[in-house]
Every structure is written in structure tokens, then in C-alpha cells.
Amino acid sequence: MEKLVLIIGGNLGDRLLLIQQARKILSEKLGPELNASSIFETEAWGGASKGNYLNQVLIFESQLEPEQVLDIIQQIERRLERVREVKWGDRTMDIDILYYGDRLIHSEKLIIPHPYLEERRFVLAPLAEVLPTFLHPRSGMSQSFLLKQCKDNSKVQQYEKSLENPGL
């Protein structure tokens, strides 16, 4: 069993409900969550989206192959009505694999660790909350250190409504 670290989020529809639905389906398909970050409200990243996102990091233990996990998360995105029209565009749900244990994978279909992880404050803030000392398998730097070094100045803050729903 290896630690599987995902980030989920979106900026369309009922963002909080969609996160709740994604978590439920992920738990059904991958097994129980080991841990989850707070939900963060974040500015859009990449220039093609309008409107703030809600994002959350989830941690599972899995025996599935990474490509199987990718197929599952893409099915969940479609089930939650994600439409892929514009790269980094608006979406109901996006699910990305950030880490899969210490694996380094670079194939046509999948890159792990996530290739933009170190450039995105909206990824690093929840990662640093739940895995502050976990070392990036390529750089050897902790998530807390990566967050401190991140040059992305986009606004990332804990989503206040998530405090009302601690069981999400």
C-alpha cells in the first residue's frame, strides 16, 4: 500500500457540494481517506478561468496502479459534469494526482509528482497543512519549505464555510 495524495476542486456550480460528492465517490473507489486538508478558496491559476476555486488535498492508501487511479478520477470528473474545452479553464471538478508514495512517473498519460505542484500556492497551502514534512521525491524539499519558496502570489485562504461542515 502506498500513500496516494490528490487535490480536488472546481469553480463552477455548488463548489462545496461537488467537493463533498467527489470525496464520497473517491472513498468508494479508492478506499477510506487517511487524511484531508481544510478546504481552501483560491484565485484561478493559469489565466483561462474566471471565479474562485475551492480546493482540498486528500490522502488515501492504495494498491492500484497509478494509471488505474487516473482512469478512476477521470470517470469521477465526467460523472460530476466536467467538460474539457480550454486548458486550465473553468470546471465543476478537477482531480489531480500530486504524489503516489515516492514514485517518479513520466509517461505520455501521467506525470507524478504533479509537474506544476511547486509553482502553485493553491496546491502547496493544503499540502503543507496535512503533509508539512513530506519530502518531494525529486527535489527532496518538504511541502512547508516548497510553500515558503513558492513565487505564486495568488490569494489562497481557508474557506470559512468549511468550518461549519467539519465532516465533509
Q: What is the pLDDT of residue 168?
A: 44
Domains, the chain, in order of start with CATH, read 2-164 (3.30.70.560)
β-bridge mates for residue 42, sequence order: 53, 156
Residue 1 CA to its chain's centroid (Å): 20
CA dist., res. 142 & res. 146, Å (int): 6
Q: What are phi and psi of 3, to 5 degrees?
A: -75, 120
62-102 confidence digits (pLDDT tens): 989 999 999 999 999 988 875 655 555 678 899 999 999 99
Per-residue pLDDT, averaged over 42-69, amounts to 87
Whether the per-residue pLDDT at 165 is higher than 90: the answer is no
Catalytic residues: 82, 91, 94, 96
What sections of 12-141 are H helices per DSSP?
A: 15-30, 66-79, 121-130
User: How many Cα atoms are found within 13 Å in the side-chain-facing hemisphere of 154?
Assistant: 20
Buried b / exposed e over 132-155, threshold 16 CB at 10 Å, is eebebeeeeebbbbbbeebebeee
Check: CB of residue 34 under 8 Å from CB of residue 61: yes
Indicate if the pLDDT at residue 163 is higher than 80.
no
Question: What is the rounded distance in angstroms from the CA atom of residue 97 to the CA atom of residue 109?
Answer: 12
Q: Is the pTM of this model over 0.95?
A: no
